[in-house]
A and B are shown apart, each in its own frame.
Chain A
Amino acid sequence: MPRTETSASGAEAPAVELVGLSKTFGSVRANDAVSFRVERGSIHGVIGENGAGKSTAMKMLYGIYTPDAGKILVEGKVRRWRSPQDAIAAGIGMVHQHFMLAGPHSALDNILLGAETSRRAWSWLPPPLRPIDRSAARAKLQALAERYSLPVDWDTPVERLPVGIQQRIEILKLLYRDARILILDEPTAVLTPQETQDLFANLRRLRGEGKTVLIITHKLKEVMAVTDRVTVFRGGKVTGGVETEATSPQELADLMVGRAVHLQVKVPPQPEPGQAALRLRDLKLTGREGGVERLKGVSLEVRSGEVVGIAGVEGNGQSELLESILRPAELLSGRVEVLGQDVTDLPTAEIKAMGVGWVPEDRHRDGLLLNRPVRENFLLGLQSSAAFSRSGLVQWGEVDAAVKRALEEYDVRPRDPDVNAGGLSGGNQQKLIIAREFERKPRLLVAAQPTRGVDVGAIEFIHDRILKARTEGAGVLLVSSELDEVLALSDRILVLYEGRIVAEFTRAQADEKRIGAAMGGSA
């Protein structure tokens, strides 16, 4: 237990110091005597598995949660927030993982939102009625943008700007409000490798200007690349604080998980690729509201015993590609073949019954019934199978036996079929889905973002399972925005950009730089 230090005064005080912070939700100790300090003018990584408590700590720092015990010191002064407003006023800003931007509005208006200024001449009006003084704001922003080299097109609706620029707008929003301490929650989740590099350059520039940056992340590579110090969370406690220079990804991973982890995926030799498990021919699809084509003629083939990875920045047609395999009837044109059979006109249930395992990209939305017990989630999609139903009746006894076995085999914790799926951690939810989909003994496995928001220990397990399916002769289509994951698992890599396959690499040819370039559209 680190000794609690009260404020060193003045300029030497750290930017942020958390002393013995605790927070309990119900019976869960989300934070247990969390203490660490963040030096001024540094980039500080906050890492940990899902549910380790890093977000809780940051939310207390930002005033979203009130600590049950402990102190928050900002620049040497003990602070108590009643709401994020107080934290913002004290110079703390946060960029959330999901950007808080109003899409149809310009960058300028998004930044002004909530901090509108007007000319003195209008001060007799009640604040909501005062005309906004955009030109003064624009001048101030222009100066900020130049100082930190963060150029932005002020007048385009933000929804038409690339994600990297949107993030830049979020950062400018904080700077506009005079934030000195910036918290970024998983900032690279939606960026291309190039955008990530740009972000890091910007963060270093901010550091150079004396700002303090906290990055919440689970990507060890990025922690190593950009931070000065790292604080590691596990089980609601701080398990380590290290200088980045003096550590390694392996040490950080071990600290996060609490045991030795294999960061490197061991890929078994590829079996002889067999028949086509999945063949897509010239798929074309428009968006839900019609209009722009989201798939512009995608063709690909996945053979049994091979993993084909789809790399690409999110929003380049991945969701539509997945959708069209599951519901080919909604395609504008093109054919879908599964295991040699044309399924274009078949309903989803029949396609899946052919032996298609499906790990959806958004497990909360598409994969689980969050308010129903694990038992029912395991049955979902298998309810009509011969193993679990007879003359229209669910054989709960057999379901229970299978669930029990599967929870054990796939190491889902807790091993309790009565717990609601929403109560499991992200990693365990994903393992539950994998367990369910493997119950079909899939001959085609489609895994979309299989390790998103999943902790390091579970990632290892899920990767092993995917490769095991391949060894057993299944064809695997892997769609992931984590380039590292695609690189590690795929026998062939296809890059999807704006609804087209723009590049193809074999495992031997795969090269992060070239794939990154293709993901950004310059193949």
Chain B
Amino acid sequence: MSWGRAMDRWMPVLRALLSVIAGFAAGLAVTWVAGESPWNVFMILIRSAFGSWYDLGMTLFYTTPLLLTGLSVAICFQAGLFNIGAEGQLTLGALAAAVTGVVLAGLPWPLAPVAAAAAAFGTGAFWGWIAGWLRARRGSHEVITTIMLNFVAAGLSSYVALYLFPNPDSQNPETRPVAKSFLIQHLSVFGDAPVSTALILAVAMCVAYGFLMRRTVLGFELRSVGQSERAARVAGIDPGKIQILAMVLAGGLAGLVGVGEVLGNAEKFKLGFSPQYGFVGIAVALLGRGNPVGVAAAALLFGALHKGTGDLDFETENVTRDLSMILQALVILSVSADGLWDWVKRRV
């Protein structure tokens, strides 16, 4: 019996690892077809993601937003919702951080980044609230509304960035830089890598998420609604309220991506800064299976993959950036192909 119990506990981990390995195998097979040694490609990946303090720093820089969007999607999964809107929420969160840094330029240092972070969280949360409210009170499916809100967020952010706060000193589509008092510290061990205290914030959010889900009444209610809306309702929980709250928290978490990006890296809002962090967050949440440690590990994996594949372009002859996208896509695909595992199990 204890063997079975251990199996139950570790099976999800095993499955997650297997799907990562399968994705890697398929991806490396593609590089082999392209005429590279898969082993060589793999070693380049490892080296360029973890090979030096700088490389590790870059990996963690990409990990930071993925951890936040992963948590954003995960908290919605817990409540039985599918948040495809993290991309829009993080865009507006970053925009809000930048606008705060421009408009309230006079704020002194410790207060300034806190205010910008609050604005990022609040704006993302508001964007999540719209989808949550529509779902809970009007019955509009959140998958549809969050996808549509992504487009609205993209349009809205270009308008605000280009027409209200354009950067006069640049040809690039971006806002004016934020005041110096808003900038947050880089972690100096990692050399020039732009990894900042935002990483600590993201890890803190991950811990908070774990605490929320394991220890609090709210986390219990959230999970209950996700497991069975009807049973939760009969038990006296208002599923609508919980769903709205989950979307608000999810939006806020995604919005916090703006802290690392604007206050820790670009120092302004750049249109299109996110290489689909919001969507990769879905894969992070799926792979992490709602477990805070799992989500953190998955975020690190995808962060490493993002950093690693970026270098394949110039470290190999045949693997271009596009192929590296394929490699990432295959890992994501194999992670998402959860049902396949059940199918295999049924056959055996």
Q: Give the interface of A toward B (CB within 8 A).
A: 27, 326, 347-353, 358, 360, 365-372, 376, 379-381, 383-384, 389, 392-394, 396, 418
Contacts and interface: CB of A to CB of B under 8 A. Distances in A.
Contact of B228 (A348, A350, A368, A393): A368
A392 B236 contact: no
Contact of B234 (A326, A350, A376, A393): A326
B33 interface: no
B231 A392 contact: no
Given A383-B221, A393-B215, A349 B237 contact: yes
Contact of A358 (B232, B234, B237): B234
Contacts, number: 72
A376 B220 contact: yes
Given A376-B220, A394-B217, A371 B227 contact: yes
A367 B234 contact: yes
14 contacts: A326-B234, A347-B236, A347-B238, A358-B234, A367-B231, A368-B231, A369-B223, A369-B227, A372-B227, A380-B224, A381-B237, A383-B217, A383-B224, A418-B5
Contacts of A351: 236
Nearest to B228: A369
Interface size class of B (residues with CB under 8 A): 20 to 34
Interface in B224-243: 224, 227-228, 230-238
Given A352-B235, A376-B223, 12 more contacts: A347-B236, A347-B238, A348-B234, A351-B236, A352-B236, A360-B234, A366-B230, A366-B231, A370-B228, A371-B227, A383-B221, A392-B217
B276 interface: no
B344 to A, nearest CB: 16
A393 B213 CA distance: 10
Nearest to A379: B220
A298 B126 CA distance: 44
Please report whether the interface of chain B is mostly helix, strand, loop or mixed according to DSSP. helix
Contacts of B231: 360, 365-369, 380
A383 B217 CA distance: 6
Contact of A393 (B216, B230, B232): B216
Where chain A touches its partner, the secondary structure class is mixed
B219 to A, nearest CB: 8
B218 interface: yes
B216 A348 contact: no
B158 to A, nearest CB: 41
A356 B171 CA distance: 67
B238 A349 contact: yes
Contacts of A367: 231, 234
A516 to B, nearest CB: 31
B228 A394 contact: no
A365 B232 CA distance: 10
A392 B216 contact: yes
Nearest to B211: A393
B2 to A, nearest CB: 11
B223 to A, nearest CB: 7
Interface centre among B223, B231, B232 (most CB of A within 10 A): B231
A392 B218 contact: yes
A459 B109 CA distance: 69
A348 B233 contact: yes
> Lowest 3 A-B CB distances belong to which pairs?
A349-B236, A381-B235, A369-B227
A385 to B, nearest CB: 10
Contacts of B220: 376, 379, 383, 394
Contacts of B236: 347-353, 381
B146 to A, nearest CB: 25
Contacts of B215: 393-394, 396
A418 B6 CA distance: 12
A400 B216 CA distance: 15
Contacts of B237: 349, 381
A219 to B, nearest CB: 28
Most central of B4, B220, B223 by chain A CB within 10 Å: B220
Most buried by B among A347, A349, A383: A383
Nearest to A327: B233
Interface string B117-134: 000000000000000000
A365 B228 contact: yes
A17 to B, nearest CB: 30
Identify the interface centre among B217, B223, B227, B236: most chain A CB within 10 Å of its CB. B236
Nearest to B221: A383
Contacts of A383: 217, 220-221, 224
Contacts of A347: 236, 238
